[in-house]
Chain A
Amino acid sequence: MTNHVVSGAAGNGQVGRRAALANFIDRSGLVILAILILVVLPAFLSMFRLGLAAKYLSFAFPAVGIVLIWGYGGILSLGQAAFFGLGSYMMAMFLKLEGAANPNSSSGTELATFFGTKGLPDFMAWNSVESLPWWWEPFHYAWFTIPAILIIPPLVAFAIGYVNFKKRVSGVYFAIVTLAISAIMMIVIIGNQGLTGGVNGINDFKTFMGMDLDSDRAKMVMYFITAILLLLAVMMGTFILRSRAGRVLVAIRDLEDRSRFSGYDPAMFKAFIFAVAALFSSIGGAMFSIQWGLASPALVGIVPSIEMVIYAAVGGRLSLIGAVYGAFLVGYAKTVFSENFVEYWIYFIGGLFIVIVMFLPKGLAGLVENLRGDGGRQ
């Protein structure tokens, strides 16, 4: 770890002002980001705009994970939205069940009592599902839901990753495997309307552990929890990259075959980093559901998975902090564009990706590097 600091600082003979600025951004990146999302945004944005910012921050979680797996692990995953969806749906199930006990929610009215669907999510009642499926039951409890959000997606990712990486499935082939995961998840959700809410998703939440989600106070609290969790994710990613494991990942990305003969099991390292990225995605999904009041199959499939990769590409696929800005900027652009030119949004994002790949292969983080003028250091 210390050696990295040395190698970073060494070799800058004359430090110009631009280089000094670049170094400042490098060194203080996390602090600048923390000030922006913890102080500046809450201070200047209206409640409505802050809600949008919360949404973009939720999407920054998978983007940070993609920097780890794609930028450093060399694994392109088009399945991150599936893990985002797992977190999002698990949280939505909890919120929906809590809502069903609330007389003001559409699931909890006196009518529901009359029809004998009390305690059942509204969409189940509409679909003539008469009793809660067994796998919904544990999501009555926060003590189950929250650990499940943190544990199940990484476990699933680890298992899928390890089996594939052990069989040396990599590159485009692994990207296709992850693409299939996204597609399957979306198809399963849409195909089981009565159990999952189908194409409408799960929505209309009222409270989270008794807190009224519509209140400004709840929105503020959730925003800050999201922002702090995101900073923790960036710090955890930084810790991993600065450890020997981070160097091993780069070594595996460079020359996987050689790493075996340095005594490493690359499948284990790749599955690990894939699991970490799934963890981040899942947390982002859960925070999205709470704040945006929705878990939707539209955020689970292939297109959102690709969008998440674009967030990371725009931010710079080697920069954890860049990924947050990438998610923010693309998310904001998407809001502006889809408000004004709905049908052109998809062309815009495709064009953006091409421009980034051609002219800014290192994304926004590459701009900071250009300031320094050496271009070679990562």
Chain B
Amino acid sequence: MPSGKILSVTNLTVSFDGFKALDSLDFFVQENELRVVIGPNGAGKTTLLDLICGKTKPTSGSIEFKGQELTGMIDYQITRAGIGRKFQTPSIYQDLTVYDNLEISFPEKRSVYGSLFFKSTPEISDKINVVAQQIFLADQLLTKAGMLSHGQKQWLEIGLCLMQDPELLLLDEPVAGMSAREREQTADLLMDVSKGRSLVLIEHDMAFVEKIAHTVTVLHQGKLLAEGSMQAVQDDERVIDVYLGG
């Protein structure tokens, strides 16, 4: 399945007032890979995603996406290059309907001029319907996003990313606050979504991780602690010490 690197993070360091949230990290993701990043609080997981998508600027190091250096690019340019981001707390447009949330995420006509004269097409509304079906919100298209339940908001944000058709999708705790049933649905959704693109996922729920991960990366204090299959990582002494607990 893996067929070459889509993302190469090398020697990446970011310090906030002298505190190194990430310390000379190397991190590679293959095409079509579903990678899960785990680690204790403060390990630098969210910071890593923030750096990749341009929300935070690195102190030093390099992030290459399909051979393109991202560190000098602005957040929305990185998005347009094909990286989607789902945040930890559901970030959706409360005052717009589910339909409009999905529609403005369609990756076309994103300039002022383009958006003024944007006309929806049958292909776009088809795509919106397909995505809405995927994220279990097909019957909520006209609901204001602010009225959705917490789990539905999480799904909608995944939907916003799917509309963008990113080649690399970064997800920060997508099942946080979900019921057991919703977690299951989300696991299926993510496995479905991962076909034809790469996913990097932060998660604490080990049962969930076990179900979906190809490879697991363990971060600790801004450094790589271990990397490998779920089984290998679970058996790793150091990982048990700092994270999984004895």
Contacts and interface: CB of A to CB of B under 8 A. Distances in A.
Interface in A357-378: 376, 378
Contacts of A260: 54, 75-76, 79
B13 interface: no
Given A244-B104, A248-B104, A254-B93, A3 B76 contact: no
Interface string B71-111: 00011100110001101000111111101110111010111
Interface stretch (A4-12, A127-135, A277-285): A4-12
Given A1-B120, A6-B142, A245-B116, A254 B75 contact: no
Contacts of B104: 244, 247-248, 251, 262
Interface string B214-229: 0000000000000000
A250 B96 contact: yes
A229 to B, nearest CB: 20
Interface in A233-262: 239-240, 243-245, 247-248, 250-251, 253-255, 257-258, 260-262
A262 B75 contact: no
A263 B76 contact: yes
Interface in B111-128: 111-112, 115-120, 125
B149 to A, nearest CB: 17
A10 B139 CA distance: 13
A7 B87 CA distance: 28
A3 to B, nearest CB: 6
Interface stretch (A36-44, A176-184, A265-273, A326-334): A265-273
Given A258-B93, A265-B76, A378-B95, A248 B111 contact: no
Interface string B149-170: 0000000000010001000000
Contacts of B160: 258, 262
A263 B99 contact: no
A340 interface: no
A264 interface: yes
Contacts of B95: 250, 253-254, 378
A7 B91 CA distance: 22
B116 A240 contact: yes
B96 A254 contact: yes
Contact of A243 (B94, B100, B115): B115
A272 B111 CA distance: 11
A239 B104 CA distance: 17
A215 interface: no
**Is the interface on chain A under 10, 10 to 19, 20 to 34, or 35 or more residues?**
20 to 34
Contacts of B142: 6-7, 10-11
A256 to B, nearest CB: 11
B53 interface: yes
B92 to A, nearest CB: 7
A2 interface: yes
Contact of A258 (B91, B100, B103): B91
A378 B94 CA distance: 13
A244 B96 contact: no
Nearest to A270: B112
Contact of B120 (A2, A239, A269): A2
Contact of A269 (B96, B99, B112): B112
A254 B93 CA distance: 6
B122 to A, nearest CB: 12
B110 A263 contact: yes
Nearest to A378: B95
A263 B80 contact: yes
Contact of A268 (B107, B111, B119): B111
Interface of B: 53-55, 74-76, 79-80, 84-85, 87, 91-97, 99-101, 103-105, 107, 109-112, 115-120, 125, 142, 144, 160, 164
Interface of A: 1-4, 6-7, 10-11, 239-240, 243-245, 247-248, 250-251, 253-255, 257-258, 260-265, 268-269, 272, 376, 378
16 contacts: A3-B125, A6-B142, A7-B99, A7-B100, A243-B116, A244-B104, A244-B109, A247-B104, A250-B93, A254-B96, A255-B92, A255-B94, A258-B92, A260-B75, A260-B79, A262-B164
